[in-house]
Amino acid sequence: MARRVSPAGVVVLAVAGVAVGALAWDRFIKPHVVPKRFHEVAAATIYRSGKLTPATMEQVVRSHDIRTIVDLGAWVDDPRGERLEARTADVLGVQRHTFDLVGDSTGDPNDYVEALRLMTDPANQPVLVHCGAGTERTGMLVYLYRRIVEGATPEDAMREARRIGHSPSRNPHMAQMIERWEPEITRAFRDGGTIRVDAPTAQNDPAPEASPVQSSPGGATPSEPEGATPSPGAGQTADPPASPG
């Protein structure tokens, strides 16, 4: 004879089912459907996001006619992910430039200068800039864009960074980078020069050596990883703020 499940047991099973379904959506489905923290920075010319899957990258590139991707270091510790994004950009015919900034937004200030030049060059637009979470390195770059290019106040520029996910209490290094390097980044961007870096600028990386820009037409790389062919995605293009990275 079948065993009857108590009403309390039914509730527990239902709650567990919802929890498992939510976890499956967040970890295995959503990344391939909804572009991570995708937002428009400047109308029809500059966009920002976290790192994307081949499906969501294709969605963003085709929906917004993206010509150039500026990756601030999303795949520094993931060679396979780096190859996959490079191959996806190649398949989509998109120019891709990469930098090796640290996840807390620290790193060589010259990388921010060069990234600003890339994203503001009309020949590269529309441009997508992204990092890992889309909050710290991308937040820092967009902060600098608002301040240097658009003339926004520090308060307004930082308010946007916080709205999209940056937390000054969790990551004080962005404010330190701004205080130390914003004047020199501004000067270098405007006069076409570079910044002399005599000491480490990354809190978690002792190497002060500048990281060169890596770029290739269409983002092509010599090796093609498994599963590199992008698949189309669909869905909304915004994601609420979450943990920085």
Interatomic CA distance for residues 114 and 194, integer angstroms: 9
The pLDDT mean for the chain works out to 81
- More reliable by pLDDT, 234 or 123: 123
Pick the CATH number of 32-191 from 3.40.50.170, 3.90.190.10, 3.55.10.10, 2.40.40.20: 3.90.190.10
The pLDDT assigned to 234 comes to 36
Interatomic CA distance for residues 140 and 177, integer angstroms: 9
Q: Which of 177, 11, 64 is nearest to 110 (CA)?
A: 177
Helix, strand or coil, per DSSP, at residue 198: coil
Does pLDDT of 125 surpass 50?
yes
What are the CA-CA distances from residue 79 to residues 76, 128, 224, 229 (Å)? 7, 21, 12, 17
The pLDDT assigned to 34 comes to 87
The answer to whether the beta carbons of residues 114 and 68 sit under 8 Å apart is no
Q: Give the distance, in angstroms, between the CA of residue 1 and the centroid of all CA atoms in the same chain.
A: 57
What is the percentage of the chain residues whose pLDDT exceeds 70? 68
Helix, strand or coil, per DSSP, at residue 19: helix
Mean pLDDT over 89-114 rounds to 98
The ranges assigned to domains in the chain are 32-191
Tell me the per-residue pLDDT of 178-235, one tens digit each, with 9 for 90 and over: 999 999 999 999 999 999 998 656 554 433 333 334 444 444 333 333 333 344 443 3
- The pTM for the full model equals 0.73
- Give one DSSP letter per residue of 160-197, joined into a string: HHHHHT--TTT-THHHHHHHHHHHHHHHHHHHT-----
Does pLDDT of 12 surpass 60?
no
